[in-house]
């Protein structure tokens, strides 16, 4: 049985090396395939049953060894919806079961892939190059938190983003301890010339902090105050209105009083002589000798903000912690450090992109960018036990275990993970395989010759 056994073993070796060659050819063929994971070949010996002193080397069998957990090179791509996974994890996808009226339907099981070349199709779904549809978690546009915990195939539409009324204005500024108003510049040697003079107005603008400036007193008011910045706000319909702010110093510590200021906003830019033009915001800002608000004023609510007849509503003027100060400034102006607001006009969807936080971001024509979905990553305890499918997808098996959401990997936007095939390494394995195959053929040839010698013995 020795010669026949050797021939049988050699044939098994030929089969094993052929199997290895098939894997090598597949790896090389997919060396440029996005997200491809090469398949290596491992060999296991098959020992014939015999006593220890007569035990032969035995045959060989070839097995596939997956490399699903081996990272491929990440390359920058020019498409906003392309994405790559750095580290552990898989995108969750599904394959449509049917296309009634050209619209995909999904009733199948979840599949998993590292292929991240997703693009929007005509129906608004993110589909990769192999036809798999991305699943994600919807994000609440207001809170920024995900809705639910089970990813779904999301469809993105080009609906308008509704407008949002301005409700908060973030405002930080430093007021010059000596404001160089026009009135001060006209009489710099006159004590308190930098202060607003209520007697110069027909109606007291400081009236318990809630006064107004009528149209007839606008020029005087502008001379006795300094600009505090301007910002565009939005009403419920998304109409834009410009809020102009001015500061007026009302008392000074330099002449024995307390450094105090009051803030005004322009309510009516076309006010007549007897109409309200500027309105007091309703708050007295008092500063100590160090230029710090005493007490601190974190926010002020402007009730029923109205600009040129357009009602915005109640708006919070947020100063934060010590956001308004009074330090010396050679220019004598109000230096605005922050002036933002939270409203915006309606906007049309312009584009969809993927951020490095793993979120799908919608950009609108009004300049807003809103997180609309979060891409979950799935991981497995037995990555290399997943079942391979066409197009770089995998299916969970009993050996791989179920998908575990919250993989440690991270998503990189505008990038793709390449194949983890190393051409140089595959060529090295190709040469070794070829030599091993040739050696096995020599064994078959030698065994055949020995059998011929055996047959010739009886002739």
Residue 52 confidence (pLDDT) above 70: no
Q: Is pLDDT above 70 for 49?
A: no
Please name the residues in contact with 160: beta carbons below 8 A apart, sequence gap of 6 or more. Answer: 346, 347, 348, 349
Query: For the purposes of burial, counting CB atoms within 10 Å of the CB of 66, is it exposed (0-12), middle (13-18) or buried (19 or more)?
Result: middle
- pLDDT tens for 383-406 read 999 999 999 999 999 999 999 999
**Burial label, 371 (beta-carbon count in 10 A; 0-12, 13-18, 19+):** middle
pLDDT of 55 reads 67
Per-domain boundaries in the chain: 2-70+419-456, 74-157+374-417, 168-341
- Can you read off the two tokens belonging to residue 67? 């490399």
Identify which of 7, 39, 15 has the alpha carbon closest to the alpha carbon of residue 433: 15
**Spatial distance between the Cα atoms of 412 and 423, rounded to a whole number of angstroms:** 25
Q: Is the dihedral of CA 374, 350, 417, 400 positive or negative?
A: positive
One-letter-per-residue 3-state SS of 301-323: EEEEEEECCEEEEEEEEECCCCC
Q: How far is CA 49 from CA 11, 55, 60, 108, in A?
A: 19, 7, 14, 47
Would you tell me how many other CB atoms lie within 10 Å of the CB of residue 111? 23
Cα three-residue angle 434-435-439, rounded to 5 degrees: 120
pLDDT number for residue 459: 62
Q: Is the dihedral of CA 57, 62, 63, 66 positive or negative?
A: positive
Residues 309-359: tens digit of each pLDDT? 999 999 999 999 889 999 999 999 999 999 999 999 999 999 999 998 899
pTM here is 0.74
Structure confidence at residue 93 (pLDDT): 96
> For the segment 151-185, what is each residue's pLDDT rounded down to a tens digit?
999 998 888 888 999 999 999 999 999 999 999 99
- Token pair for 242: 């410009």
pLDDT for res 54: 66
Give residue 93's region: left, alpha or beta (phi > 0; psi -120 to 50). beta
* 7-11, 40-44, 215-219, 247-251: the lowest-pLDDT one: 7-11
- Give the position of tokens 């608000």: 293
For 10-35, the pLDDT digits (tens) are: 888 889 899 999 999 999 999 999 99
Please give the CATH topology (third level) of the domain spanning 168-341.
Answer: Tick-borne Encephalitis virus Glycoprotein; domain 1 (2.60.98)
Average pLDDT over residues 371-386: 95
């Amino acid at each position: 049985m020795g010669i026949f056994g050797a021939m049988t073993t050699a044939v098994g070796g030929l089969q094993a090396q052929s199997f290895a060659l098939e894997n090598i050819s597949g790896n090389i063929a997919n060396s440029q395939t996005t997200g491809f994971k090469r398949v290596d070949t491992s060999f296991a010996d098959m020992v014939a049953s015999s006593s220890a002193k007569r035990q032969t080397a035995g045959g060989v069998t070839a097995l596939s060894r997956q490399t699903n957990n081996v990272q491929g090179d990440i390359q920058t791509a020019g498409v906003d919806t392309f994405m790559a996974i750095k580290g552990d994890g898989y995108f969750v996808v599904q394959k449509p079961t049917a296309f009634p009226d050209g619209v995909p339907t999904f009733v199948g099981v979840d599949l998993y892939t590292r292929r991240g070349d997703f693009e929007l199709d005509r129906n608004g779904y993110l589909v990769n190059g192999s036809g798999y549809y991305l699943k994600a978690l919807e994000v609440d546009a207001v809170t920024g938190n995900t809705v639910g915990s089970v990813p779904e195939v999301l469809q993105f539409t080009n609906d308008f983003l509704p407008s949002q009324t301005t409700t908060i204005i973030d405002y930080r500024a430093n007021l010059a301890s000596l404001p160089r108003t026009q009135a001060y510049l006209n009489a710099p040697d006159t004590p308190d010339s930098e202060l607003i003079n209520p007697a110069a107005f027909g109606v007291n603008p400081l009236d318990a902090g809630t006064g107004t400036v009528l149209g007839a007193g606008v020029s005087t008011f502008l001379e006795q105050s300094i600009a505090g910045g301007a910002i565009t706000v939005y009403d419920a319909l998304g109409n834009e209105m410009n809020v102009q702010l001015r500061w007026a110093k009302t008392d000074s510590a330099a002449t024995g009083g307390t450094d105090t200021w009051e803030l005004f906003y322009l309510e009516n830019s076309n006010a007549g002589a007897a109409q309200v033009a500027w309105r007091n915001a309703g708050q007295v800002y008092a500063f100590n000798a160090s230029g710090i608000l005493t007490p601190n004023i974190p926010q002020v609510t402007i009730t029923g903000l109205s600009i040129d007849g357009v009602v915005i509503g109640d708006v919070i003027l947020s100063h934060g912690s010590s956001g308004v100060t009074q330090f010396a400034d050679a220019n004598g102006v109000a230096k605005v450090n922050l002036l933002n607001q939270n409203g915006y006009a309606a906007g049309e969807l312009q584009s969809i992109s993927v951020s490095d936080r793993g979120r799908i971001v919608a950009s609108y024509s009004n300049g807003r960018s809103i997180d609309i979905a979060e891409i979950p990553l799935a991981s497995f305890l037995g990555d290399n036990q997943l079942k391979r499918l066409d197009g770089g997808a995998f299916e969970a098996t009993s050996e791989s275990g179920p998908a575990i959401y919250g993989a440690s990997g991270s998503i990189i936007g505008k990038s793709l993970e390449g194949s983890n095939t190393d051409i140089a390494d595959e060529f090295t394995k190709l040469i070794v395989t070829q030599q091993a195959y040739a050696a096995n053929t020599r064994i078959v040839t030698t065994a055949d010759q020995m059998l011929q010698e055996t047959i010739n013995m009886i002739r």
